[in-house]
Amino acid sequence: MAGRNKGQRIAFVASDRPRGQAALKELVKMYGNCDPDDAEVIVALGGDGTLLDVLRAHMHHDIPVYGMNCGTVGFLMNEYNPAALPERIAKADRVVINPLRMIATDGRGKRHEAMAINEIALLRETRQTARITIKVHGQTRMETLICDGVLLSTPAGSTAYNLSAHGPILPISSNLLALTPISPFRPRRWRGALLSYDAEVDFEVQDPEFRTVLATADNYEVRDVKTVHGSIARDIEMCLLFDAGAGLEERILEEQFEY
């Protein structure tokens, strides 16, 4: 359908949920639609999961993404309002983020690579606790973490799984990563660490045949991992758009004062 969006080439991408599909129909009728590869901006309709899927699919295309909440939490989304959408996009604040690159090796020696916008997480697969060695820049910092799991989070993802695991909220411009244990058993009082943005983090699973562990990069999953490497992919930049005055920095700040 030819665009009717006042000069902007907008591509709409929606979740399969009824709210997302209804919003897609309404917005395409108002503004037209174009192929994402030809767009100046992509509008994601759904929840945070939909936005993350769109960012992953187009992270190499240098196209800004503007999300509108048709889901539940929608922390990364703007309010759904079909009116004056091109004007809102034109005035939007831009936030550039880098994903984490995960390189995992499974029990068969197969190498898996994936990108995580929120976090890389290691999780036990069975009733047995995981035993994980943690290295930073090649130096062993924790010989054995006995736990349900551990995660490495970006600032953008620090309010997601990381926060639920009692990790710190990171300002988007902090140039830090959060290393957060999930239900640590030993050392019981370890609450994690703040790492520099350029940290190279390696996780080694101890006794992986008996204490099986899976690794995730957001929603990409690798089972029976032996080693996992995580680091910021500085060669990839993704642009998120937020309504003026309601940017990600402000949302993260507000989150820290909720009670």
The reply to whether 160 sits in an annotated binding site is: yes
Side by side, the strands of the sheet bearing 130-136 are 111-116, 100-106, 225-232, 201-205, 130-136, 139-147
Checking phi first, is residue 6 left (phi over 0); if not, alpha (psi -120 to 50) or beta? left
The reply to whether 44 sits in an annotated binding site is no
148 is in an annotated binding site: yes
35 is in an annotated binding site: no
Cα(250)–Cα(230) distance, integer angstroms: 27
Q: Is 48 annotated as a binding residue?
A: yes
Residue 72 is assigned to a ligand binding site: no
Strand partners, 206: none
How many C-beta atoms surround the C-beta of residue 178 within 10 A? 24
Catalytic hit among 38, 48, 207, 218: 48
The owner of tokens 């490497």 is: 229
48 is catalytic: yes
Any binding-site annotation on 163?
A: yes
Give 3-state DSSP helix, strand, coil % of the chain, rounded to 5: 20, 40, 45
Beta-bridge partners for 100: 116, 232
Q: What count of other Cβ atoms lies within 10 Å of the Cβ of residue 7?
A: 8
Confirm or deny that 164 is annotated as ligand binding: yes
159 is in an annotated binding site: yes
DSSP string, 76-133: T-BPP--TTHHHHHHH-EEEEE-PEEEEEEETT--EEEEEESSEEEEEE-SSSPEEEE
Known binder of ligand: residue 218? no
According to DSSP, the β-strands at 93-97 and 65-69 are unpaired
Catalytic residues, by residue number, are: 48
Instruction: Detail the residues annotated as belonging to a binding site.
Output: 48-49, 118-119, 148, 156, 159-164
> Binding site membership for NAD(+): which residues?
48-49, 118-119, 148, 156, 159-164
